[in-house]
Amino acid sequence: SAVISQKPSRDICQRGTSLTIQCQVDSQVTMMFWYRQQPGQSLTLIATANQGSEATYESGFVIDKFPISRPNLTFSTLTVSNMSPEDSSIYLCSGSGAIWGSYNEQFFGPGTRLTVL
Amino acid sequence: QQQVKQSPQSLIVQKGGISIINCAYENTAFDYFPWYQQFPGKGPALLIAIRPDVSEKKEGRFTISFNKSAKQFSLHIMDSQPGDSATYFCAASILGSARQLTFGSGTQLTVLP
C-alpha cells in the first residue's frame, strides 16, 4: 500500500491568516482528494485535486477559500485562506488509482489538525 | 441519493464478543463498499472492501456481509479485542466515477477487557 504524509501535522493559526497543507504520496496515484473531518464526525469531501488542471470542488466549498494545487502525480497542496474559528478541523489528504492496488482503493494521510484562534 | 446511513453510533462489546456495524445505501449505482478503521489522531485505514458480485468477504476476524436486494452491508468483527477499539466508517463509491467515497457517519467501538 502507499504511504501518504502530510505537513504540518498540526498548527494553531490566527484568524484572517492562511495555511498551506502539503500532501506527499510515495508512489504515483491517479486521483488525490482533500477531506475535512470535525472531531468525532465523519469525513466530508472538499475537492478532487486534478493534476495539471483546476480542482473539482464539492458543494459548499469554493476555490477562493480552499485553493488546491497538484503539480504532479505524487504531490498536492491545500490552502485554507482567510481562516476563521469555523475552519478549525482535521484536514485529510487521500490518494487512489495507484498501479500497486485496485483502482478504487483509497488511502489516507495522517491528517493535519488545524486550530484557528 | 448519495447518503450512506450507518448504525449504531457507538458500540460497547466485551472482549471475545462479536461486533456488528450496519450500513444502508440508496444509490443503486454504488458498486464498491469499503470499511475504514480510524484510531484517535490517525487517518482512516482501509480495513476490508467488497463488491456487490459477492455476498460475503472474510479477512481474518473481519467479515463483510452484503445484501444487494436490501441495499445493506455490515461489518462483523469476530473475537473482538481491546485493540479493535476505534471508530469504524463504512463508505461507498461508483466504479468508473472519480473514485469519490461517500462515508457513513461512523461507529465508535469500545471493546472492554
Instruction: Decide if B103 and A43 are in contact by the 8 Å CB cutoff.
Output: yes
**pLDDT at residue A102 greater than cutoff 70:** no
User: A18-48: per-residue pLDDT in tens?
Assistant: 999 999 999 888 889 999 999 889 999 999 9
Quick: pLDDT tens for B83-101.
999 999 999 988 755 578 8
pLDDT tens digits, one per residue of B52-63? 889 999 999 999
Is A110 in CB contact (< 8 Å) with chain B? yes
Would you say the C-alpha torsion B30, B106, A60, A91 has a positive or negative sign? negative
Q: Which residue, among B39, B48, B89, B101, would best test binding to A if mutated, counting the most A CBs under 10 Å from its CB?
A: B101
